[in-house]
Amino acid sequence: MKNSISTPIPYGKQHITPDDIAAVVEALQADLLTQGPRIAQFEADFAHYIGVPYAVAVANGTAALHVCALALGCEGKKVLVTSLTFAASANCIRYAGGEPDFVDIDPETLLMDIHRTREKLAAAPSGTYAGIIVVDFAGNPVNLQAFRALADDFGIWLLEDACHAPGGYFVDDKGLQQRCGNGEYADLAIFSFHPVKHIAAGEGGMITTRNAALAEKITLLRNHGLVRDPQKWQLSTDDIAQGGWYYEMQELGFNYRLTDIQAALATSQLRRADENLYLRRKFAARYDSVFANTPIQAAPFAEGNAYHLYVVQVNNRAACYAHLRSQQIFPQIHYIPVHLLPYYRQRGWQRGDCPHAEAYYDRCLSLPLYPTLQDDEQIFVVEQLMAIAE
């Protein structure tokens, strides 16, 4: 048994290579640091990787959620969202004037329970709900085909939060692999390029879709609602002087632009996406093998998992968390159910509203998982956890 390690082992970690650094240096030496050609290049490359016609880059994943909620519309209505997610997945509904209605998870998948979702929709008067936000939690892909059918039954939109799942996929009823974010079933999908995600850009986000009108709307919202295309101007020269300087603000938009520096880094990282995904799955399979027939309950993840996180459930979570940290292993907890956060408790939510998500939270632990995790480090994590887990 290994007795110690020389450096801390976090739950997630970015991997920056010499090629990444060279790409950023080249961007820094270019004429445009923002609104330059690297944005469009990254959008085109990412769209190709996901398999979707349109990809729109924004400042971060939260900005992506915000403009999606605005583009799809939810003001004055409710939107169904899983409680087992980061707060941004629900907060975007509030930003756009709607109200989140939290849905419990299916304990077999840790994903939003489609049966409970249908029950809520069926019990409400027509027009109560605007849409559904599903989350590919920890990289485990949602069956979007089933949720698309549900959304269509009630005439509402479907948004996929795929921040954990670039490269992930589910298998549809025809046996076809449907990549997360490919727009085949969801109206819009969003991704994040936070440092611990599959593609690290420091910060950054992407929205993907097959809907040209939604792509255009989102592009407008990310840049102050400004229109520079003369073919789309609303005012004539009789109203205001126009020339090469002219633009129109046609929407109340935001400064949600990605920089060329971030796009350069993200484009370089994208080239290693498949390799990194292979490594995540390799490490996850090793955890699976070791934890079989032990008190450590590994998450029941399906084919196509992108493994942003490797989560387990243990009965003595607090003791495990403290012991691992004492050994310079830094696990994380994903997530406190959003409906239990003080802001949403003030809006009427309470313990007992999503019992499966709450039960999962009381036992969950995210273990180290990232492409540069070393074999001896993973062995040390396993040894230390198994020494104390109940």
Burial of 152 (0-12, 13-18, 19+ CB in 10 A): exposed
Say how far apart CA 93 and CA 131 lie, in whole Å. 10
What is the distance between the terminal CA atoms of the chain, rounded to a whole angstrom? Answer: 20
Instruction: Domain 18-103+111-270: give its CATH code.
Output: 3.40.640.10
Q: Write out the two tokens for 119.
A: 């029950």
Say how far apart CA 269 and CA 263 lie, in whole Å. 10
Average pLDDT for the chain: 97
Of 80, 81, 76, 128, which Cα lies nearest the Cα of 97? 76
Q: For the residues 189-203, what does the mean pLDDT come to?
A: 96
Asked if residues 47 and 267 have their Cβ atoms less than 8 Å apart, the reply is no
Say how far apart CA 21 and CA 114 lie, in whole Å. 44
Q: Quick one: pLDDT band at residue 300, thresholds 50, 70, 90?
A: confident
Q: For the residues 203-226, what does the mean pLDDT come to?
A: 98
Query: Which residues partner with 133 through β-bridges?
Result: 81, 159
pLDDT tens digits along 282-294: 999 999 999 999 9
**What's the Cα-to-Cα distance from 137 to each of 1, 62, 186, 197, rounded to whole Å?**
33, 16, 16, 13
Q: Write out the two tokens for 308.
A: 């942003």
Task: Quickly count: other Cβ atoms within 10 Å of residue 61's Cβ.
Answer: 26
Q: Which residues contact 155 (CB under 8 A, 6 or more apart)?
A: none
CATH architecture of 273-386: Alpha-Beta Complex (3.90)
Q: Write out the two tokens for 22.
A: 């060279």
Say how far apart CA 300 and CA 291 lie, in whole Å. 12
Question: Of all residues in the chain, what percent carry a pLDDT higher than 90?
Answer: 97
Q: For the residues 98-120, what does the mean pLDDT come to?
A: 98
Q: What is the pTM of this model?
A: 0.97
| Domain-wise residue ranges, the chain | 18-103+111-270, 273-386
Question: Which pLDDT value is given to residue 2?
Answer: 52
Say how far apart CA 289 and CA 286 lie, in whole Å. 5
pLDDT tens digits along 10-64: 999 999 999 999 999 999 999 999 999 999 999 999 999 999 999 999 999 999 9
Q: Write out the two tokens for 126.
A: 């027509």
Q: Which residues contact 2 (CB under 8 A, 6 or more apart)?
A: 376, 379, 380, 383
Question: Which pLDDT value is given to residue 1?
Answer: 45
Q: Write out the two tokens for 117.
A: 């979702």
Q: For the residues 72-90, what does the mean pLDDT come to?
A: 98
